[in-house]
């Protein structure tokens, strides 16, 4: 079965990389190849900026490891040419733009502004729990 092509918002991806629990299942889906991460330059820059937050206390070597072994290893870089404003929070638009340009299967987010959109041009915006539920249903 082909992998799901997903755009994952920053808070969700960083949480999956740094913390245990339900959200860390996303890392397992990347490792098994069930998920292909789609990123654009603005998304990648935001991932790196957030990983560098003082509250996480990550050393540069740890940030480089997470970037190379998880983000870049499992990611496909998407060149976004069309800029659209779709969310109330314009900082969220980069996730939808990447999804549209990369022909994503879904955007995965915990952000209320993105989730309120529901679907944009046929691409659903889902919580991680909803996505995992749909993935498991598809495999049955």
What is the structure's pLDDT at 48?
Answer: 95
Give pLDDT tens digits for 30-78: 999 999 999 999 999 999 999 999 999 999 999 999 999 989 999 999 9
Distance CA 48, CA 64 (A): 9
Give the model confidence (pLDDT) of 78-100 as tens digits. Answer: 999 877 777 777 888 999 999 99
Q: What is the pTM of this model?
A: 0.91
Element (H, E) at 25: helix 25-32
Q: What fold is seen in the domain 4-139?
A: Rossmann fold (3.40.50)
pLDDT tier for residue 135 given thresholds of 50, 70 and 90: confident
Neighbouring residues of 51: CB distance < 8 A, sequence distance ≥ 6: 14, 17, 58, 63, 66, 67
For 49-86, letters b (16+ CB in 10 Å) and e give eebeeeeeebeeeeeeebbeebbeebbeebebeeeeeb
């Amino acid at each position: 079965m082909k992998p799901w092509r997903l755009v994952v918002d920053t808070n969700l991806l960083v949480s999956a990389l740094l913390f245990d629990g339900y959200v860390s299942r996303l890392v397992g889906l990347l490792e098994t190849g069930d998920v292909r991460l789609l990123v654009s330059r603005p998304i990648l820059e935001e991932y790196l900026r957030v990983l560098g937050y003082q509250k996480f206390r990550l050393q540069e070597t740890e940030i480089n490891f997470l970037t190379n072994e998880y983000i870049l290893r499992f990611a496909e870089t998407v060149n976004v040419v069309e800029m659209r404003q779709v969310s109330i929070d314009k900082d969220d638009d980069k996730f939808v733009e990447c999804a549209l340009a990369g022909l994503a299967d879904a955007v995965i987010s915990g952000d209320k502004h993105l989730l309120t959109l529901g679907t944009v041009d046929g691409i659903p915006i889902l919580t991680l729990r909803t996505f995992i539920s749909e993935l498991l249903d598809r495999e049955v």
